[in-house]
Amino acid sequence: MEQQLEVAIQLRESGKVEEARSLLLELLDQQPLDPSVWYQCAWIHDALGLESDAVPYYKKSLELGLRGEERQGALLGLGSTYRTLGMYEEAKTIFETAMKEFPDRREYQVFYAMVLYNQQAFSESMSILLKQLAETSNDEGIRSYKNAILFYSDKLDQIWD
């Protein structure tokens, strides 16, 4: 079974998404309690642009106790999918959970900022993104102004006399 799952992943990675989807759905029939298969089914539906169809697969993979990097990916995938479907509160909740569970994974904060933008929380969204940029950029110009970027990141609406 694990070998078939690897084949399905390789098919997806090589762009043969329909073949991967067929194989994954067969595997799901054979192993309905395997969270990794549910996760890969979610991923393939996202890859095919079938976001609404991906949601129940993501949710089931998490309910079945998905762990490690796959769990991190499923949380990101589900939150991002909710966001693209306009389900902003659901996306926000998923990313808040993910940020608590995996505080060192910066990608959650970036996707969270996108949700805040969609909810018109522009200042908070920009603040998060500016902090992430300042703290992670290797660009020499950004690094030289890191302290200023961090200082202004939560003061974008402030005007000094």
> Which amino acid belongs to residue 15?
G
Backbone φ, ψ for residue 32 (5° rounding): -70, -5
What is the model's pTM?
Answer: 0.92
Reported as a single tens digit per residue, the pLDDT across 61-73 is 999 999 999 999 9
Distance, in Å, from the CA atom of 28 to the CA atom of 22, rounded to the nearest integer, reads 10
Reported as a single tens digit per residue, the pLDDT across 69-93 is 999 999 999 999 999 999 999 999 9
Distance, in Å, from the CA atom of 87 to the CA atom of 99, rounded to the nearest integer, reads 18
Domains and CATH numbers, the chain: 1-66 (1.25.40.10), 91-161 (1.25.40.10)
Q: What is the DSSP string of 131-151?
A: HHHHHH---HHHHHTHHHHHH
